Amino acid sequence: MAQEIRRRWQREEEHRRVHDPFPLPVRWQDAPDSLTDHSANIQRLPPGATPDRMDLSGDLGSVAEVYRRIDSGRLVVLGRAGSGKSILTIRFVLDRLEAREPHDRVPVIFGIGSWDPTAVALRDWLIDRLVRDHPHLTRRAPGGSTLAGALVDADLVLPVLDGFDEIAEGLRSAALEELNSTSVPLVLTSRRDEFAEAVREAGAPLVWAAGLELTDLTLDDLDDYLPRTARRVPRDDGSTAVWGPVLDRLRAREDGEAVPLARVLSTPLMIILARTMYSEAPDRDPVELLDTGRFPDENSLEEHLLAGFVPTVYRRRVAERSAAGRRERHRDPERAEHWLGYLAHHLARLDRDQQDLAWWRIGDSLRLSTRLLSVVVASALCVTLSEWLINLVNLPFPIGQGLLLGGLMGTAAGLAFGCVHAVLARFGTTAFEPAHVRLRLPGAGTGVGRRPVRTFTARFGAVLLGGSVMGVGCASAFALQRWLFYGVPLANELVIKGTLINMLLFGLIFGAGAGLVFGILAALEAPLDVASAATPAGLLASNRATVLRQVLVLAPMLTLVIAFGGGLVTELFDGILGPLIWTSADGLLIGAIGGLGGTCSYALSFTAWGRWLVLSRVWLPMTGKLPWDTVAFLDDAYRRGVLRRAGAVYQFRHIRLQHHLARSYREHRREYAPARFGTGTQKAPAARSG
């Protein structure tokens, strides 16, 4: 894991161009005493001992060494938005791993903004994030827990909790109290005001924690950095100095009138945005940033830089024409900004304002009614097409009758799967997580789950309901077929009795059969390979492969179980419920329809990859909210620097950029009232009360 984390953050540091042309300086001062613990507690001294003066001075290149001076192993890094906290954590992790001894803790960066301390304990949340970003850690340790759990319990993980201020406003004090209930060494980053508010509400700072507060960059830093980022391209006035006039004006006013631009360009985030818009675009002149009529204050300048970032990075290569029109659309700045705005808005519509852009949760931005409709339509199409295909090959019914029967069975199956999905939404969850397993032959590896009996029982019970509902729907479809083609009255007492018996039998056959097959399937599951990629595209590819293999295994197994199980059930209940007729031909026909149609319906309705395919690759592109090739678009946005990778998920380059894009997206759509989302900087909603 240490090797993988080191490779990952080295790539990310290179991708963010931290060293081009050189890292911006990140400096700090001691955090206020009110936001840190007593020196004696930080140094873990016994009662009566006198603490030494702590020396926390240093810079970006020595942050790991500064951390070693903290006896408690707890550090809080404070700073305003864009001040370089994330860059500092990356450098800390890399330097810490560079000098790591074999049994030292492995520093792991966790974006803590998604943590709900009232619902999930810190330990469980850390384990869940480890498994998400390192799927092979689902393997079982000798003690029975997952490898992720074993690493956390053995104190071999050093949590680097980035973005405490992104926790929902009403949950920050609870998060601080939860952290104070543990003795785990950790590094925590936050904006100062949000952390100070949590300290006031909790009544205490982070126990045993020292504190650093990042300071602003100076004009000398700008003089050193910005000129070396500009292209040496002759301008209209014959000069090649892009930033010279701007820096001269700022230097001339350094001791006089305050210039908003000087304050704005005091954080690495805004410097990078300004570099992108002006240093790398020869047709733009940064002198316009000094126009106080156009930009009267800091906020207007920051909004200008945020608004210009995406169009600039997409316009940079807009003249490059590609034969593939799909890739060309990704370079259209307006469309790209629209799609990115929708994704940023989607993150704001989750339970709380989120940063993790997970491919398996993009569809959750749709209303529940829309998601239910997609389940009904997808399931209906799967069963209908399966019946038509089987009828075409076997011809058990005339063509017209077969087409109608397929439509009836598809409709019944769609409604059945929709009902199951609605039950999960009401009493459970419809946020399907990606599978962290693969299929393998029995005996070809170590299983992932609990003991086989417990695993089989849990899987059987979970699938029994869905299979039973589908069986009832199938029996109803046959009853409608007899009424439409043979005139059998539905209101006849004997017909009602026969229909109810068929519903019972089909529900039992389909439910027990599906439960049995899915329970057996658990025996074929094994952890993902250690070398499996923990990138968004890698996790998506592994899930697609897993689901396709499941379909290839489930379809024939479910067909055979339904076909032969139907005969067994008929034999058992023939004398109890009256004379029952279930021929082998009927069993194979119904089994084939249920096996093929039911398996495909399950894959599209109840797996993370299936929901991604239906919603993010079909539904959302049809409505214009996302491009058709969403994977290529996300990867392209990452390469352009709009998104960043954090393990198995994407994140926007900075939360400020995410909030700006989301706000801009809503302002251009009438259906989003300002009262609902606000017009200022997007804040996370308060914690729910139940």
- Residue pLDDT, tens place only, 386-442: 878 877 766 555 566 556 666 777 777 787 778 777 877 777 665 677 776 666 655
- Please tell me the predicted confidence (pLDDT) of residue 257: 54
Q: Which helix (H) or strand (E) holds 609?
A: helix 608-611
Name the residue type at position 343.
L
- Render 19-82 in DSSP notation, one character per residue: TSSSPPP--EEEPPGGGS--HHHHTTPPTTPPPPPP-----GGGHHHHHHT-TT-EEEEE--TT
Query: Residue 633 and residue 329: Cα distance in Å, rounded?
Result: 9
Sign of the dihedral through C-alpha 148, 149, 155, 161: positive
- If we measure between CA atoms, which residue out of 233, 246, 318 comes closest to residue 280? 233
Asked whether the beta carbons of 76 and 211 are under 8 A apart, the reply is: yes
Tokens of 44: 């873990």
The phi, psi pair for 372, rounded to 5°, reads -65, -40
Encoding tokens for residue 598?
Answer: 């039911």
pLDDT of 465 above 50: yes
Binning pLDDT at 50, 70 and 90, where does residue 309 land?
Answer: very high
Residue 593 near residue 387 (C-beta atoms within 8 A): yes
How far is Cα 471 from Cα 512, in angstroms, rounded to an integer?
A: 10
What's the pLDDT at 683? 41
Q: Which residues contact 567 (CB under 8 A, 6 or more apart)?
A: 582, 584, 587
Asked if omega into 185 is within 30° of 0 (cis), the reply is: no
pLDDT for the residue numbered 255: 55
Most confident of 45-59, 238-252, 312-326, 442-456: 45-59
CA 368-369-372 angle, to 5 degrees, is 85
Is residue 464 pLDDT above 60, yes or no? Answer: yes
105 pLDDT above the threshold of 70: yes
How would you list the strands of the sheet with 106-111, edge to edge? 28-30, 209-214, 74-78, 186-190, 157-162, 106-111
> Does residue 30 surpass a pLDDT of 60?
yes
In this prediction, residue 323 carries a pLDDT of: 39
Q: What is the DSSP letter of 446?
A: -
**Alpha-helical runs (H) found in 122-243:** 122-133, 147-153, 172-180, 192-202, 219-229
pLDDT band at 568; cut points 50, 70, 90:
confident
Confidence (pLDDT) at 685: 39
- Residue 399 CB burial class (10 angstroms; 0-12, 13-18, ≥19): exposed
239-248, 484-493, 532-541, 664-673: range with lowest mean pLDDT: 484-493
pLDDT tens-digit map of 312-333 = 988 865 444 443 444 444 568 8
Segment 61-73 shows an average pLDDT of 92
Pick the range with the lowest mean pLDDT from 85-94, 279-288, 493-502, 587-596: 493-502
Q: State pLDDT tens for residues 193-208.
A: 999 999 999 999 999 9
pLDDT of residue 533: 52
Average pLDDT over residues 441-454: 51
Average pLDDT over residues 63-92: 93
d(CA 387, CA 595): 11
The whole-number pLDDT of residue 253 equals: 73
Higher pLDDT, 299 or 259: 299
C-alpha dihedral sign at 296, 298, 301, 306: negative
Separation between Cα atoms, residue 98 and residue 102, nearest integer Å? 11
Rounded to 5 degrees, φ, ψ at 664 are: -65, -40
More confident residue, 185 or 114: 185
Q: What is the DSSP code (8-state) at residue 688?
A: P
Cβ proximity of 309 and 277 under 8 Å: yes
Using CB atoms within 10 A of its CB, is residue 141 exposed (0-12), middle (13-18) or buried (19+)?
middle
Average pLDDT over residues 121-134: 91
Q: What is the rounded average pLDDT of the residues 375-383? A: 88
Mean pLDDT of 10-18: 89
Give the span between the Cα atoms of 15 and 642, in whole angstroms. Answer: 11
Q: From the CA atom positions of the chain, what is the Rg in Å?
A: 30
- pTM for the whole thing? 0.81
Residue 466's pLDDT is what?
66
Average pLDDT over the chain reads 81
Instruction: Count how many Cα atoms sit within 13 Å of the Cα of residue 308 in the half-sphere of its side chain.
Output: 19
Percent pLDDT > 90 in the chain is 34
Give CA–CA dist 301/282, Å, rounded: 20
Instruction: Tell me what pLDDT residue 317 has.
Output: 55
Q: 411 or 690: which carries more pLDDT confidence?
A: 411
Residue 621: how many CA atoms within 13 Å on its side-chain side?
14
pLDDT at 538 over 90: no
Mean pLDDT calculated for residue range 662-678:
66
pLDDT in tens, 467-525: 777 677 677 766 776 676 666 676 777 767 777 777 777 777 777 777 777 777 776 67
Tokens found for residue 320: 């490059």
Per-residue model confidence (pLDDT) at position 680? 40
Query: Which token pair is 401?
Result: 């009758």
Distance between CA atoms of residues 542 and 537, nearest Å: 9
Q: Are 529 and 136 in contact (CB under 8 A)?
A: yes
Q: Are 211 and 113 in contact (CB under 8 A)?
A: no
- What local confidence, expressed as pLDDT, does residue 65 receive? 92
The pLDDT, as a whole number, for residue 674 is 47
β-pair type (209-214, 28-30): antiparallel
Is 187's pLDDT higher than 90? yes
In three-state secondary structure terms, 247 is helix
Of residues 387 and 376, the one with the higher pLDDT is 376
Asked which of 10-14, 115-119, 516-520, 625-629 is least confident by mean pLDDT, the reply is 516-520
Q: What is the pLDDT of residue 543?
A: 87
Amino acid at 242: V
Looking at the predicted structure, is the pLDDT value of residue 448 above 80? no
Nearest to 4 by CA among 186, 162, 149, 133: 133
User: Do 243 and 279 form a contact (C-beta atoms < 8 A)?
Assistant: yes
Give the largest Cα separation in the chain, rounded.
101
In this structure, which long-range contacts are made by residues 395-402, counting pairs with CB atoms below 8 Å and at least 24 apart in sequence? 396/585, 396/589, 401/481, 401/485
Asked if residue 661 lies in contact with residue 357, where contact means CB atoms within 8 angstroms, the answer is no
Range from 44-58, 115-129, 243-257, 417-431 carrying the lowest mean pLDDT: 417-431
Q: Residue 557 in contact with residue 517, Cβ under 8 Å?
A: yes
**Residue 563: its pLDDT value, please?**
77
Tokens of 343: 């994704």
Q: Please, is 334 exposed, middle or buried when counting C-beta atoms within 10 Å of its C-beta (0-12, 13-18, 19+)?
A: exposed
Q: Which pLDDT does position 574 carry in this prediction?
A: 61
pLDDT of residue 351: 55
Residue type for position 221: D
The secondary structure element, H or E, covering residue 470 is helix 452-486
Residue-wise pLDDT for 212-229, tens only, equals 999 999 999 999 999 988
Q: SS3 for 623? A: coil
CA distance 137 to 141: 9
- CA within 13 Å, CB half, 542: 26
- DSSP 8-state secondary structure symbol assigned to residue 678: -
What are φ and ψ of residue 300, in 5° steps?
A: -65, -35
pLDDT band at 687 (very low <50, low <70, confident <90, very high): very low
Tokens of 439: 């299929």
Q: What is the pLDDT of residue 380?
A: 87
The three-state secondary structure class of 197 is helix
Query: What is the Cα–Cα distance from 652 to 269, expressed in whole angstroms?
Result: 13
Q: Could you report the per-residue pLDDT of 344-360, keeping only the tens digit for each?
A: 998 876 655 678 898 88
Q: Give the residue with greater pLDDT, 563 vs 360.
A: 360
